[in-house]
């Protein structure tokens, strides 16, 4: 369901660009390639975190829950000074330990994107990826889906945004069960927008995923997404759509940026 609707939105981008024959969709953090079939009408290039982006891409660089999984610098603010949060051992288990003052890059990030925070994460890797995306994209779109915040909203996270997941259960204790949990942090959309703008990526939209999916399904009233082979599949797809629009769709956000070029 998600793949069908994302493909419909990318199809609009393809048309906006004049349907170029060399149009490509590069997916960051493609994992098991679950989107490959939906995006297969164009040249599809899956990239993992350690992979190299192709050069001179004309098309879309797409990601779904990519930026939230990048490594971050954790920090705490003490008497107005941001200090490193390091991992140590206390009582036989991993624990946070306060370190030295953060680096200049982390401090600049704090002042720009989460200045009211008591604890925060600096996602410098996200900024590096924005540079790589801008360098790789000759013309077209950067299209990402994730959960996160803009600077004015970070006040809602006084203890930072780090979360861990194990067997679909969330926990704020990210140091428990080392090696057995997925650790994530909310995505700083303001940082992605600013870095992208500096590198020639113009913001076209930042909206809820529900808004993006409603726009994608508007042309055919979701007929393609809801067309099941059997009545049972038809009902299942309707439930999936409801879940996407009113569950994940309200929690996740979409950022679309465009780079003009030849």
Segment 63-74, tens digit of pLDDT = 999 999 999 999
Domain with CATH 3.40.50.12710 in the chain: 2-70+124-147+187-259
- Mean pLDDT calculated for residue range 140-165: 94
**Domain 2-70+124-147+187-259, CATH:** 3.40.50.12710
Question: d(Cα 116, Cα 160) in Å, to the nearest integer?
Answer: 11
Q: Distance between CA atoms of 114 and 122, rounded to whole angstroms?
A: 9
pLDDT grade for 191, boundaries at 50, 70 and 90: very high
- Integer angstrom CA distances of residue 211 from 8, 13, 48, 221, 255: 14, 16, 28, 14, 11
The predicted model gives 215-220 an average pLDDT of: 77
Name the β-bridge partners of 224.
none
Mean pLDDT score of the chain: 91
pLDDT tens for 103-112 read 999 999 999 9
- Asked whether the predicted pLDDT for residue 262 surpasses 70, the reply is no
Q: What is the pTM (predicted TM-score) of this model?
A: 0.90
Query: Rounded to whole angstroms, how far apart are CA atoms 122 and 120?
Result: 7
Q: Is the pLDDT of residue 221 over 80?
A: no
pLDDT for the residue numbered 101: 98
CA distance 124 to 117: 17
Decide if pLDDT at 229 tops 70: no
Rounded CA gap, 131 and 146, in Å? 18
3-state secondary structure of 8: helix
Stretch 227-242: mean pLDDT: 75
């Amino acid at each position: 369901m998600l793949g069908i609707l994302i493909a419909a939105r990318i199809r609009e981008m393809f048309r906006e660009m004049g349907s170029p024959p060399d149009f490509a969709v590069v997916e960051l953090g493609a994992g098991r390639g679950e989107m490959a079939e939906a995006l297969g009408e164009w040249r599809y290039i899956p990239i993992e975190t350690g992979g190299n982006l192709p050069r001179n891409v004309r098309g879309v660089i797409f990601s779904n829950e990519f930026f939230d999984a990048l490594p971050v610098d954790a920090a705490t603010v003490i008497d107005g000074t941001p200090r490193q949060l390091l991992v140590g051992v206390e009582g036989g288990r991993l624990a946070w330990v306060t370190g030295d003052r953060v680096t200049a890059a982390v401090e600049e990030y704090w002042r720009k994107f989460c200045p009211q925070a008591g604890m925060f994460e600096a996602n410098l890797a996200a900024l590096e990826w924005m540079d790589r995306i801008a360098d790789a994209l000759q013309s077209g779109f950067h299209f990402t889906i994730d959960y996160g915040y803009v600077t004015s909203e970070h006040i809602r996270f006084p203890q930072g945004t780090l979360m861990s997941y194990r067997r679909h259960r969330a926990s704020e204790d990210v140091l428990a069960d080392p090696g057995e949990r997925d650790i994530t942090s909310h995505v700083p959309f303001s940082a992605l927008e600013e870095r992208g703008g500096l590198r020639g990526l113009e913001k076209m939209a930042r909206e809820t995923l529900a808004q993006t999916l409603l726009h994608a399904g508007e042309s055919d009233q979701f007929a393609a997404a809801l067309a099941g082979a059997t009545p049972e599949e038809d009902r299942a797809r309707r439930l999936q759509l409801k879940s996407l629009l009113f569950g994940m769709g309200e929690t996740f956000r979409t950022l679309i940026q465009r780079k003009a070029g030849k």
